[in-house]
Amino acid sequence: PAELQGYHKELIAEIMASDPEDRFGFGKKEKEARMMAQQSEMLEQFYLSQRGKIRGEELRKSREEAEKILSSPDLLPPIRLKLNKFISDSYALERNYPKSLEYLKSARDSDPGSKESSRLQPWIENMEKIIAREK
């Protein structure tokens, strides 16, 4: 199990050495786990750097920085979902509900089938209602 892998580094190294073709997919899982840890740390640092930037030019620059990160082709789906949600929230703060809805849908579609993705559906439906009322 993933939560026990930190305690079995020697065993993991032995498994990976005995399966250089990665027939059992353990190497791929290990690589994805490392990427997830690195990208989660990067995202946390991004969030910290953006704390309190909720108006005007600062908010626009925050979105641009999030878009820049999103342009990375190696970004994992859960991280992509969170960045799209961040951008959606920034548009909602500006009351640009159509753009907010666009990024909510992108967030949902970034990691289809995940719990986080399914949790966005009520947000999407609510945003659609808000937009319909404004028309």
Instruction: Give tens-digit pLDDT for 99-135.
Output: 999 999 999 999 999 999 999 999 999 999 999 998 7
Q: Is the pLDDT of residue 4 over 90?
A: no
CB 89 within 8 A of CB 98: no
Same domain for 78 and 131, yes or no, is yes
| Dihedral angle sign, alpha carbons of residues 36, 74, 41, 120 | negative
Same domain for 29 and 68, yes or no, is no
- DSSP-derived letter for residue 111 is S
Same domain for 95 and 44, yes or no, is no
Same domain for 16 and 45, yes or no, is yes
**Residue 65 belongs to a domain with what CATH number?**
1.25.40
Res. 2 pLDDT band, cuts 50 70 90: low
The phi and psi torsions of 52 (rounded to 5 degrees) equal 85, -5
Same domain for 7 and 46, yes or no, is yes
Q: Which domain, by its residues, includes 67?
A: 55-135
Q: Is the pLDDT of residue 41 over 70?
A: yes
Domain count, the chain: 2
Same domain for 61 and 31, yes or no, is no
Q: What is the mean pLDDT of residues 6-34?
A: 83
